[in-house]
Amino acid sequence: MSDSTDQLVLNQRRNLPLRATPATCAGKTYIVTGANVGLGFEAAKHLVALGAGRVILAVRNLAAGEAAKKMIEQATGGTGVVEVWHLDLSRFDSVKAFAGRAVAELARIDAIVENAAVARTDSVRAEGRLQGMTVNVVSTFLLAVLLGEKMRESAKKVGAMVRVVIVTSRLGFTMKEEWTEIWEQPLVGIEEDERLYAQCYALSKLMEIFAVKHLATLLPVERTGVVFNLVCPGLCKTELIRNTSPDRRAEITKLYERAGRTAEDGSRTLLHGAVAGKESHGCLLHSCELDESDVPSWVTDEAGKTMQQRMWEAIAKELELIQPGCVEEMLAL
């Protein structure tokens, strides 16, 4: 890692405030992806403890999800709230099936916390792309787009804002040089340069940031009732690094020991995103605060806005191939 990244981690706050409260969560319905371990598990546990009416653990491994459900119920005493649904973001058919079920079975959606991600340094692929691109970028946005109408309907039905929380990372801001090489065709460019495979996670997080910032301009909260925000949970002691190279794992493990947040502490940032106001639309949140000052100017200046649009359009093109008409339908909300 670079010196600047190392310093960012060493300076990160811990013992974060819990912005979500029973008043903001009671009776509401939440979807948390990647909820059987780490940040997603801890966020789901908090939501149950705060009186949520329905918490969907969206997981790839149903057995692991059921084990997580049991632990949450034992820890909180809350029963009849947690449900385990299958979602494999490495398979587009699974994303479509999950979204279809949510539309059919959920009376409302108050927030979807898109926490699931993979961090790899190799060439493993899913749906024809590097797995990190498929899971962290394409499927993450596919899920949000397929649930777009349902979320708008929910906001109108309950008379309150609905949130889409994209869990990202400020690590993406260290990728300026690599991004410059691929920004004209981002989803294609990374596939064509094996040197970038080891940076797939960080680049995927930068892509999320660019895309959400442009998408937010296309879907104003005043029209849709839906807030899209970006949450960086910081460096947290989770299983995210399990598929990285031994050298990378050793490097990050040392940082864990020096300054890593616990998964419970980091999960508080996800909860903040799930209750943040309309001022967070298209913006970066970290350490349970809205802080756009951490977004470098090259991401938000005029050239940056061009890159934001290019990134969103690249994703939208992919989504239209997967589910024809889905983007047009969402943008018409």
Domain chopping of the chain, boundaries: 3-168+212-293
Q: What tens digit of pLDDT does each residue of 215-241 get?
A: 999 999 999 999 999 999 999 999 888
The model's confidence at residue 255, banded by pLDDT at 50, 70 and 90, is confident
Q: What share of the chain is helix, strand, coil (3-state, %, to 5)?
A: 60, 15, 30
Positions marked active-site: 201, 205
Task: Tokens 């929380």: give the residue.
Answer: 165
* Residue pointed to by tokens 């989770």: 238
Confidence category of residue 11, pLDDT binned at 50, 70, 90: confident
Q: How confident is the model at residue 311 (pLDDT cuts 50, 70, 90)?
A: very high
CB-based contact 169:204 (threshold 8 Å)? no
pLDDT beyond 80 at 308: yes
Average pLDDT over residues 260-265: 95
The pLDDT value given to residue 5:
56
CATH topology of domain 3-168+212-293: Rossmann fold (3.40.50)
Q: Are 132 and 186 in contact (CB under 8 A)?
A: no
Instruction: Quote the mean pLDDT of the chain.
Output: 95
The pLDDT of 16-44, averaged and rounded, is: 97
Closest CA to 323 of 33, 100, 84: 100
**What is the C-alpha to C-alpha distance for residues 168 and 248, in angstroms, rounded to an integer?**
19
| pLDDT of 6 higher than 80 | no
Residue 111 β-bridge partners:
30, 163
| CB burial readout 50-60, b (16+ within 10 A) else e | bbbbbbbbbbb
**Of 9 and 116, which is predicted with more confidence?**
116
Which band of pLDDT confidence, cut at 50, 70 and 90, is reported for residue 3?
low
Answer whether residue 119 shows pLDDT above 60.
yes
Split at pLDDT 50, 70, 90, the class of 330 is very high
Cβ atoms 56, 33 nearer than 8 A: no
Alpha carbon 158 to its chain's center: 24
Taking residues 172-199, report their average pLDDT: 94
Sign of CA dihedral 234, 240, 245, 250: positive
Distance, in Å, from the CA atom of 84 to the CA atom of 55, rounded to the nearest integer, reads 9
Direct distance between the N- and C-terminal alpha carbons of the chain, in angstroms, rounded to an integer: 42
Residue 296 clears pLDDT 90, i.e. is over it:
yes
Average of pLDDT values for 263-269?
A: 97
| pLDDT of res. 152 | 97
Q: Percentage of the chain surpassing pLDDT 90?
A: 88
- Maximal CA-CA distance, the chain: 52
